[in-house]
Amino acid sequence: MKTTKIILTVLLFVFALSFSMVNGVNGKEVDKLKIGLMFGLTGAGSPIGPVQLEGAKLAIKEINEGGGAKIGGKKVPVEFVVRDDETKPDVALRRFRELVYEDKVQAIVGSTFAAISAALNKEVKKVPIPYFSVCVAPMTMFKKDEIADDTFGVHGGAYSIGFAGAAYIINKLGYKNIYVFAPAYAFGWDQKAGAKDAIEKYGAKWEYAESPVGTPDFTPYLLKIAEKKPDIVMMAHWGVDAINVLKQAHETGLKKSTKIWFDWMTNVFGGGIPPEALEGVNSLMSWYWNMTGFNDPAIVKAAEDFVKKYIKEYNYPPDPYAAIAYIGVKEAIRGMEIAKSTDPKAISKAIMSHPKFDSMRGPGVWRADHQPLFKYGSFVVVGKGPKERKDKWDLVNVIGAYTGEDYLPPLKELGY
The answer as to CATH 3.40.109.10 being correct for domain 159-285+377-414 is no
**What CA–CA distance (Å, rounded) separates 372 from 356?**
9
Q: Which of the four pLDDT bands, split at 50, 70 and 90, describes residue 404?
A: confident
In angstroms, the CA 256 to CA 266 distance is: 24
- Return d(Cα 334, Cα 353) in angstroms, integer: 12
Inter-axis angle of helices 114-126 and 89-97, nearest 10: 40
DSSP lists the bridge partners of residue 145 as: none
**Gyration radius from the chain CA atoms:** 23
**Residue-level pLDDT at 402:** 87
Q: Please state the pTM of the whole predicted model.
A: 0.89
Burial of 286 (0-12, 13-18, 19+ CB in 10 A): buried
Q: Can you tell me the distance from the alpha carbon of 38 to that of 84, in angstroms, rounded to the nearest whole number?
A: 6
Q: Is the pLDDT of residue 338 over 90?
A: yes
Q: Round the average pLDDT of the chain to a whole number and report it.
A: 92
Q: pLDDT value at position 208? A: 98
* pLDDT for the residue 15: 40
Decide if pLDDT at 123 tops 50: yes
Whether 350 has a pLDDT exceeding 60, the answer reads: yes
pLDDT at 18 over 90: no
Residues 99/151, Cβ–Cβ less than 8 Å? no
Between residues 275 and 8, which one has the greater pLDDT? 275
For residue 21, pLDDT beyond 60: no
Task: Give CA separation, 5 vs 9, 10, 12, 269, 397, in Å.
Answer: 6, 9, 10, 68, 72
User: What is residue 405's predicted lDDT score, i.e. its pLDDT?
Assistant: 79
Q: What is the torsional sign of CA 113, 116, 118, 121?
A: negative
* Rounded Cα–Cα distance for residues 309 and 330 (Å): 15
Judge whether residue 147 has pLDDT over 80.
Answer: yes
Per-residue pLDDT band at 12 (split at 50, 70, 90): very low
> What's the average model confidence in pLDDT over 301-314?
98
pLDDT level of residue 28 (50, 70, 90 thresholds): low
Average pLDDT over residues 360-367: 96
Per-residue model confidence (pLDDT) at position 178: 98
Q: Is residue 309 scored above 50 in pLDDT? A: yes
Residues 6+ apart with CB under 8 A from 65: none
**Quick one: pLDDT at residue 29?**
75
159-285+377-414 has the same fold as 31-155+302-374: yes
What residues have CB less than 8 Å from 157, skipping those under 6 apart?
136, 137, 138, 139, 141, 142, 190, 371, 408, 409
Instruction: Give tens-digit pLDDT for 194-236.
Output: 999 999 999 999 999 999 999 999 999 999 999 999 999 999 9
DSSP character string of 66-99: TT-EEETTEEE-EEEEEEE-TT-HHHHHHHHHII
Spatial CA neighbour of 290 closest among 391, 373, 365 = 391
Give the mean model confidence (pLDDT) for residues 367-390: 96
- The confidence score (pLDDT) of residue 406 equals 74
Across the range 17-38, mean pLDDT stands at 66
Q: What pLDDT is stored for residue 17 in this prediction? A: 41
What was the pLDDT predicted at 154?
97
Q: Is the pLDDT of residue 24 over 60?
A: no
Looking at the predicted structure, is the pLDDT value of residue 157 above 60? yes
Residues 6 or more apart in contact with residue 392 via CB below 8 angstroms: 271
Q: What SS3 state is found at 283?
A: strand
Task: Report the C-alpha gap between 378 and 400 in whole angstroms.
Answer: 9
CATH for the stretch 31-155+302-374? 3.40.50.2300
Q: Select from 261, 290, 289 the least CA-distant residue to 168.
A: 261
Q: Parse the chain into domains and list their residue ranges.
A: 31-155+302-374, 159-285+377-414
Task: Tell me if 273 sits within 8 A of 389, measured CB to CB.
Answer: no
Helices 239-251 and 219-228: crossing angle in degrees, nearest 10, is 60
Q: Are 33 and 303 in contact (CB under 8 A)?
A: no
Q: What percent of the chain stands above pLDDT 90?
A: 88
